[in-house]
Structure 1
Amino acid sequence: MATIHLLVASLLILANVSFLEASFSPSLIVDLAKIVMDSYCSPEKLVGMKEAIEAASSNTKVLNIPDSESLASVLSGGVQTTISDPRLRVTYEPNYVPAVLPQIPSLPPDQLVAVLQTSMKLDILDGNIGYLRIDNILGEEAADKVGPLLVDLVWNKILPTSALIFDLRYTSRGDISGISYIVSYFTKAEPLIHIDTIYDRLSNTTTKLFSLPTLLGQRYSLHKPLIILTSKNTKGIAEDVAYCLQNLKRATIVGEKTAGGSIKLSKFKVGDTDFYVTVPTAKSINPITGSSWELMGVTPNVVVNAEDALATAIKIIHLRTLVPAIVEESATLILNNYAFKNAGENVAKKLKELLANGEFSMVVSTKDLETKLSAELQKISGDKFLKTTRNITSLPTMHFSPEMYTDLIKVSFHTDVFENNIGYLRFDMFGDFEEVKPIAQIIVENVWKKVVNTNAMIIDLRKNLGGSTTAIAGFCSYFFDGDKQILLDKLYERPSGTTTELLTLSELTGTRYGSRKSLIILTSKATSGAAEEFIYIMKKLGRAMIVGENTAGASHPPKVFHVGQSDIFLSIPTVCSDTATGPAWEGTGITPHIPTSSDAALEVAKGILNKHITGQE
């Protein structure tokens, strides 16, 4: 009630400006308001308008406006602002002649073709890409007259193409009945699809639009790419067609956001005057989104300037021609290299099924493909390390002086000696064995000697994110005696199908800590990769107590594989701990002996060791 009263009141106020010349009766306002009330497509926004009109009709003030065009402009602004709909428009047209919808002329076929060609353009682009521009969407009645001709001269040339670019950048006219007609050529014959719902205020009817079961000519293959080009000038029925096909996930929209027009605009004469009001008298509600493109416009999947839309569409189509080979090659790489053979077979199978079902058919860029591929790989495998990745080229070898190495080591390692001679060692990354070997003596001198002679040790891996596993055997060896070689783990490598024994080393740089002194390892949910392999070994062999949180459940360092000739790279874990003797840590993490929050883990560990060293129960 308040909103509609505001409509009439604001119109009166906006129009009641003090000018000196022409004047108009308030009945103009009342007649205008009645038209809006009786015909506007969203009556729920007009509740209470009748009462507001009755109140306004008793207003005898004269509208003082210098000219009719100015009054029309003022009235337009008032009604648009009040109802929040810029499609409502008041005009002053003393010579107005109602528009007559163009009819298909009765001409010989060759002349009729010439007429039709003025509103459409057909081309076959490089790569067998069809291009069809339509500036006026024909309704069913018109299509019945020229349909066979259009099929022969236009559609049959499009059918053999590998992809279609449907250009609606210049389309501002069309018939509602043409929506189902066009959409049906890009959908299945059965089952019928509910593609749109149209509410017509003038007839107070709601019509559901469905795809058509039969058509002239064949349907365009569902497996072929369909790109629709749009611009800010794409209006009305063209917007509906684009919105329907976009939400059916049958078409990718490329270009500019559309005009946000109306499914139907009607023009009414206001009383016995030369003023006219244009009103949206019908509205579209999409059954998939529950909303409409009207007012808001259709937002493209890929937003580019209208003049760049065609070139962008061609790039997208070229990418999509490569997608099947990329996905197939990805499946093969995983099948042959993923550390977990059975899981790899399942991932490869499911990936091919997704490809066959069109799950990758809507990608619009290499980045989009990478994101989609990663998401599907991780969803199928449950492995967050099986994914697409960047191509990380080898960094140039850095040459450091002994002094520089010393400074680097001091920053990378943290040591301390607590009460009761309890050693503390923290480092946050495992280094590659070949890189660590030349500086092993520097590490011993600046790190290891500070903690090797303690009564017990705490190794803090709460922030250790992994790294290379090549130094695991050597690091483990410091915590065992050198009189015999110990089997630490068996590692299975999928690409070669071989299993390698990980053994303690007989020779080490510096002094061993040995197997007799107490050792506690601190963990958190961030502890991953190589750190987990070390913890797994030490727990399995009973050499250390684990305190903290369940670890990340990562993997041995993955390898990077180039997918064919594309710009896509896969990160694939290729090595795993042999599970013949029991479950490993990959994917599940390691459960600590003493669960506690990572923040409390150090104090818990110190308490345990202090009691042990002082002989307390």
Structure 2
Amino acid sequence: MAQTMALLVSLLVFSNVFAVNCAFAPTLIIDMAKIFMDNYCSPERLAGMEEAIDAASSNTEILSIPDPNTLANVLTEGVKNTISDPRVTVTYEPNYVPVGPPVLPDLPPEQMIAVVQGTVKVEVLESNIAYLRIQHIIGEEMAQKIGPLLLEHVWAKVLPTTAMILDFRYASSGELSGIPYIVSYFTDTEPLIHIDSVYDRPSDTTTELWSMPTLLGERYGTTKPLIILTSHSTKGIAEDVAYILKNLKRATIVGEKTAGGSVKIEKIKVGDTDFYVSVPVAKSVNPVTGKSWEIVGVTPDIEVDAEDALDIAVEIIKLRAEIPAIVQAAATLVADNYAFESVGADVAEKLNAILASGEYSMINTKAELEAKLSADLMKLSGDKSLKTTSNTPALPPMNPTPEMFIELIKVSFHTDMFENNIGYLRFDMFGDFEQVKAIAQIIVEHVWKKVVDTDALIIDLRNNVGGPTTSIAGFCSYFFDGDKEIVLDKLYDRPSGTTRELLTLPELTGKRYGTKKSLIILTSGVTAGAAEEFVYIMKRLGRAMIVGEPTSGASHPPETFRVGESDVFLAIPITHSDTSQGPAWEGAGIAPHIPVPADAALETAKGILNKHFASQK
């Protein structure tokens, strides 16, 4: 009641700026309020209307406004603001003549064809895309009369196309009974689909709208792309059709947010006056969302200015035409190149099955395609490194000065010295061998010499995200003696089908740490790629104790592949550590000898080494 009282009170407040002599009948406001109470589509917003009418019946100040059009505007604003519905209006129209539903006159066939062609603009665009611009959605009665002509002069042209654009940017009128007709042409015969529920306030009834089992002519079907263009002028029945097809995931909406109209608005005369109330008397509730587009409008999937919507729609359709070939080519690349052959074949088969299921059919942009393709590849393979990537060109080589190298090394490496002559070395990424080789002497002078003469060493890889594996052999070699060659790992290369041995290097820059002194490596869930390869080797050969958390379970650095002739690129790991037991660490990670939380790993390692040295005294 409080809200409805506010409705009438807000109307009365406006009257204070006018003379107190009544210019209109005292029953005007009461009759208008009764129209809302009996006809407004959302009666819950009008709770307490009857009590408010009784309270307002003796207060007629607002009726002193002398100009009827001004009074109508004041009443309109009062109602709109109170019930938060911009669709309601009050007008003063002494010469108003009610307009009935459109009636199709009896015309000769050639004139009837001209009417049809003037109602619907039809065109077949480049790439065999149908374009239909509809300004009024006809109802059941009209459809039955001109259906054969629509089939011959409109539908026959668009049915063979491979995609369709429905242009509703200028559609502001239509018939409720036409909704099932237009929607059904884009659904299957079976099963029938509950597409809308419309509540009619005057009759207090709800009508369910369902797709139709039979239609005049063939359906466009459910597989060919359908784009609906909208603007802020798209209103009423066209909004309902767009909202239905969007939530059935049958159409993509491109353009501007729609007007937020109504499925049915009636203009009702207020008593014996020349005032009229335009009030929404019915409301749509979508069975998929449980919500309505009315008042709020339909939000596009791709929101752009209405004038740009057609061009964007064509771009989307062209992209969708390319997607099957792109996904199939991606599957082939994975099957032919992924490091683990059986996994690659399985991923390819399942990716093609996802494509066939239609999951890629509603992609709108290249970014969406790349995101979904990445998500599917990672999910199917369990490999975070198998994904789409950008084809970023390599940066031109730099020629830094020795001073710049020194500053870079100081930032990249962190060393420390703990009690009992325990050294500490941290770095967060592995570098390319050729680059490291060029500055090896600088690294030795400013990093390695600080820790090489310690009695034990802690290497902190808790934040090491990997990098190239080309420097792994050289780094491992510092922790083995130089009197014999050691096989560190065997690496299988999938594209060539060959296996090569990763061996220690006979010559190094600077002193070796050797095999006699204790070595502990710290790990976490961040430790990945090349860092995992190093940890795997050192653990497998029994050269280091691992303390911390299981590693990431990433892969050897992936190679970049172009997908077909597109500008989509894949990062595919093509190499793996070759073991007879299956994956070494790729996808599984490396379990530490001493599992502790990453933030406790350093203190744990220091404790282990201090205890070791204490026992030797």
In structure 1, C-alpha distance between the alignment counterparts of 2:161 and 2:399, rounded to whole Å: 58
Provide, for residues 225-255 of structure 1, a one-character-per-residue CA deviation record: whole Å limited to 9, x for no partner: 1111111111100001111111111111111
Q: CA deviation at 1:60?
A: 5.3
The equivalent of 2:151 in structure 1 is 151
In structure 1, C-alpha distance between the alignment counterparts of 2:582 and 2:483, rounded to whole Å: 27
Q: CA deviation at 1:512?
A: 1.4
In structure 2, C-alpha distance between the alignment counterparts of 1:492 and 1:600, rounded to whole Å: 36
Which segment is superposed worse, 84-93 or 341-350?
A: 341-350
The equivalent of 1:554 in structure 2 is 554
The equivalent of 1:79 in structure 2 is 79
The equivalent of 1:260 in structure 2 is 260
The equivalent of 1:26 in structure 2 is 26
In structure 2, C-alpha distance between the alignment counterparts of 1:577 and 1:197, rounded to whole Å: 61
Q: Which runs of 5+ in 2 are unaligned?
A: none
Amino acid at match of 1:137: I
The equivalent of 1:539 in structure 2 is 539
Is the partner of 1:280 in helix, strand or coil?
A: strand
**TM-score for the superposition, normalised by structure 1:** 0.97
The equivalent of 2:229 in structure 1 is 229
Residue pairs, 1:390-401, within 5 angstroms: 390-401=390-401
Amino acid at match of 2:168: L
Residue pairs, 1:403-418, within 5 angstroms: 403-418=403-418
Q: Judging changes above 3 Å, is the alpha-carbon distance between structure 1 residues 182 and 554 closer, same or farther for their aligned structure 2 residues?
A: same
Is the partner of 2:45 in helix, strand or coil?
A: helix
Is the partner of 1:367 in helix, strand or coil?
A: helix
Q: CA deviation at 1:582?
A: 5.4
Q: CA deviation at 1:605?
A: 1.1
Is the partner of 1:177 in helix, strand or coil?
A: helix
Q: CA deviation at 1:526?
A: 1.4
Aligned pairs, number: 617
Provide, for residues 120-149 of structure 1, a one-character-per-residue CA deviation record: whole Å limited to 9, x for no partner: 111111111111111110111111111111
Q: CA deviation at 1:576?
A: 1.5
Amino acid at match of 2:248: L
In structure 2, C-alpha distance between the alignment counterparts of 1:19 and 1:563, rounded to whole Å: 78
The equivalent of 1:527 in structure 2 is 527
Residue pairs, 1:171-250, within 5 angstroms: 171-250=171-250
Is the partner of 1:279 in helix, strand or coil?
A: strand
Q: Judging changes above 3 Å, is the alpha-carbon distance between structure 1 residues 126 and 582 closer, same or farther for their aligned structure 2 residues?
A: closer
The equivalent of 1:274 in structure 2 is 274
The equivalent of 2:476 in structure 1 is 476
The equivalent of 1:38 in structure 2 is 38
Provide, for residues 184-214 of structure 1, a one-character-per-residue CA deviation record: whole Å limited to 9, x for no partner: 1111110011111111111111111111111
In structure 1, C-alpha distance between the alignment counterparts of 2:9 and 2:330, rounded to whole Å: 67
Amino acid at match of 1:318: K
In structure 2, C-alpha distance between the alignment counterparts of 1:320 and 1:101, rounded to whole Å: 40
Q: Which runs of 5+ in 1 are unaligned?
A: none
Is the partner of 2:208 in helix, strand or coil?
A: strand
Amino acid at match of 2:400: F
Runs of 4+ with deviation above 6 angstroms? none
Q: CA deviation at 1:443?
A: 1.6
Residue pairs, 1:309-324, within 5 angstroms: 309-324=309-324
Which segment is superposed worse, 471-480 or 67-76?
A: 471-480
Is the partner of 2:502 in helix, strand or coil?
A: strand
Is the partner of 1:253 in helix, strand or coil?
A: strand
Q: Is the 8 A contact 1:227 1:253 kept in 2?
A: yes
Amino acid at match of 1:524: S
Q: CA deviation at 1:160?
A: 0.8
Q: Does 1:48 align with 2:48?
A: yes
Provide, for residues 251-309 of structure 1, a one-character-per-residue CA deviation record: whole Å limited to 9, x for no partner: 11111111110010011111111110011010011111111111111111111111111
Q: Judging changes above 3 Å, is the alpha-carbon distance between structure 1 residues 561 and 85 closer, same or farther for their aligned structure 2 residues?
A: same
In structure 1, C-alpha distance between the alignment counterparts of 2:564 and 2:6, rounded to whole Å: 66
**TM-score for the superposition, normalised by structure 2:** 0.97
Q: CA deviation at 1:581?
A: 3.5
In structure 2, C-alpha distance between the alignment counterparts of 1:581 and 1:358, rounded to whole Å: 38
Q: Judging changes above 3 Å, is the alpha-carbon distance between structure 1 residues 20 and 58 closer, same or farther for their aligned structure 2 residues?
A: closer
Which segment is superposed worse, 231-240 or 397-406?
A: 397-406
Q: RMSD of aligned C-alpha atoms?
A: 1.6
The equivalent of 1:131 in structure 2 is 131
Amino acid at match of 2:486: I
Q: Is the 8 A contact 2:131 2:166 kept in 1?
A: yes
The equivalent of 1:290 in structure 2 is 290
Amino acid at match of 1:100: G
Aligned-residue sequence identity (percent) comes to 67
The equivalent of 1:385 in structure 2 is 385
Q: CA deviation at 1:596?
A: 2.1
Q: Judging changes above 3 Å, is the alpha-carbon distance between structure 1 residues 43 and 315 closer, same or farther for their aligned structure 2 residues?
A: same
Q: Does 1:5 align with 2:13?
A: no
Amino acid at match of 1:123: E
In structure 2, C-alpha distance between the alignment counterparts of 1:86 and 1:569, rounded to whole Å: 49
The equivalent of 1:450 in structure 2 is 450
In structure 2, C-alpha distance between the alignment counterparts of 1:408 and 1:231, rounded to whole Å: 55
The equivalent of 1:584 in structure 2 is 584
Is the partner of 1:191 in helix, strand or coil?
A: coil
Q: CA deviation at 1:54?
A: 1.8
In structure 2, C-alpha distance between the alignment counterparts of 1:607 and 1:202, rounded to whole Å: 83
In structure 2, C-alpha distance between the alignment counterparts of 1:616 and 1:283, rounded to whole Å: 86
In structure 1, C-alpha distance between the alignment counterparts of 2:72 and 2:519, rounded to whole Å: 88
Provide, for residues 292-343 of structure 1, a one-character-per-residue CA deviation record: whole Å limited to 9, x for no partner: 1111111111111111111111111111111111111111111111112222
Q: Is the 8 A contact 2:116 2:149 kept in 1?
A: no
The equivalent of 1:106 in structure 2 is 106
In structure 1, C-alpha distance between the alignment counterparts of 2:147 and 2:403, rounded to whole Å: 84
Amino acid at match of 1:450: K
Q: CA deviation at 1:588?
A: 2.4
Q: Is the 8 A contact 1:26 1:62 kept in 2?
A: no
Q: CA deviation at 1:19?
A: 2.8
Q: Is the 8 A contact 1:194 1:209 kept in 2?
A: yes
Q: Judging changes above 3 Å, is the alpha-carbon distance between structure 1 residues 100 and 581 closer, same or farther for their aligned structure 2 residues?
A: closer
In structure 2, C-alpha distance between the alignment counterparts of 1:385 and 1:405, rounded to whole Å: 30
In structure 1, C-alpha distance between the alignment counterparts of 2:494 and 2:294, rounded to whole Å: 56
In structure 1, C-alpha distance between the alignment counterparts of 2:465 and 2:228, rounded to whole Å: 46
